[in-house]
Amino acid sequence: MLDASSDLSAPDFLLNPGLDRSAPYGDDLRAILSRDGGRTAHAAISAWEGYAPTPLRDLSAIADALDLGQVLYKDEGGRFGLRSFKALGGAYAVDRLVAAGGRRGLTVACATDGNHGRSVAWGARRAGVKAVIYVHETVSEGRAEAIRSYGATVVREGRNYDDSVRACAQAAAANGWQIVSDTSWPGYEDVPKDVMQGYSVLAIEIEAQTPTPTHVFVQGGVGGVAAAVLSDSWERHGAARPIFVVVEPENAACLFESAKAGAVTAVGGDLDTIMAGLACGEPSILAWRILQPGADAFMTVRDAAAADAMRQLATLGVVGGESGVAGLAGLIKAARDPALRSALRLDTTSRVLCYGTEGATDPEVYRAIVGRSAEEIGRGE
């Protein structure tokens, strides 16, 4: 068990002062996310055309370099052709809405940094309903065009993700659209629960692919995927669950700041980072209810660390996108720092799982960072 009262202090690392490892995964948390709900989501999603569990990569070269027992990387780059784990969440929530109320007159809407909007647009096309997707000014045109390719209307509004969330909410209220968001706020919780429950399929697949790891590193954003995989592990293993570390970009670390403050805390500014899918300034209140008492540590990484992790994966023939490698970048940083390594109890017996939540979702951005295309990496060139 980690000691959150440790005197380790760093501007980019925090042992969670709100952690209570002895606490059970109670009914209040099961009302947000549960293993029963995860099994329901898995049964539905596994019946979709094109479903297959994504691969778990054994990064032995990185484990050796970091003096760790094993480093595993859940590679979401091929998920339903959308190149991201987000395919599991937004599309599942759209399906649930259609099942509950029908298609007639339904328009779904969301704000996105790219991947969630692509999932909602894809889910809307699958279900035969309309989609309107809001993107902010720094979302690349490549990501916007990928959303349009599924028949959605794309609206560019707002300086950052959180601005787009507000603009989308206002337009939805005025037009009678149904918001399908991966974040939650007071009065809007039911649909985000479905989105996060879709993400829990990742943990169900992992359970069948490998014995329980000692550590999990996963990226933050608004906290949805982190809460989904933590909830499954917590409900399944209780206090014996893996050590769980949430990683965010240093310029968009709303979960880190929330942990430090002991309450949901928003961060402002442009949230400028190459990790576009994690450029979120406000946590999901639902995700935070799980992460605050359950995550062991929070940390931040610089853009350069994410770019380096992308290039390291490329040398191994694995395509990892900018946002998808944040957890791996955090692990590399922690394992190389004696104080962080000790605080997280990383050693030669550690079996570490990182969630590689996206592939090359913007091929041009990927090429600019790595120096080769995703297709060249995949062919081993």
d(CA 298, CA 95): 33
Q: Is the pLDDT of residue 367 over 80?
A: yes
Flag the least confident range among 5-14, 298-307, 323-332. Answer: 5-14
Q: Which amino acid belongs to residue 332?
A: I
* Residue 115 neighbours by CB under 8 Å, 6+ apart: 82, 83, 84, 85, 86, 143, 277, 323, 358, 361
Q: Tell me, letter by letter, the H, E, C secondary structure of 296-363.
A: CEEEEECHHHHHHHHHHHHHCCCCCCCCCCHHHHHHHHHHHCHHHHHHCCCCCCCEEEEEECECCCCH
- What would the pLDDT profile of 80-130 be if each residue is shown by its tens digit? 999 999 899 999 999 999 999 888 989 999 999 888 999 999 999 999 999
pTM (2 d.p.): 0.93
Q: Which CATH architecture has domain 90-181?
A: 3-Layer(aba) Sandwich (3.40)
Phi then psi for residue 54, to 5 deg, are -75, 155
13-85+196-378: CATH topology is Rossmann fold (3.40.50)
Q: Which residues are catalytic?
A: 86, 113
* Residue 98 neighbours by CB under 8 Å, 6+ apart: 106, 127, 129
In CATH terms, are 13-85+196-378 and 90-181 the same topology?
yes
d(CA 201, CA 35): 10
**Ranges of each domain in the chain:** 13-85+196-378, 90-181
* Residue 64 neighbours by CB under 8 Å, 6+ apart: none
d(CA 15, CA 195): 28
- What would the pLDDT profile of 296-319 be if each residue is shown by its tens digit? 999 999 999 999 999 999 999 999
Residue 374 contacts residue 366 (beta carbons within 8 Å): yes
Flag the least confident range among 32-46, 50-64, 234-248, 270-284. Answer: 270-284
* Residue 300 neighbours by CB under 8 Å, 6+ apart: 12, 13, 247, 248, 249, 250, 253, 256
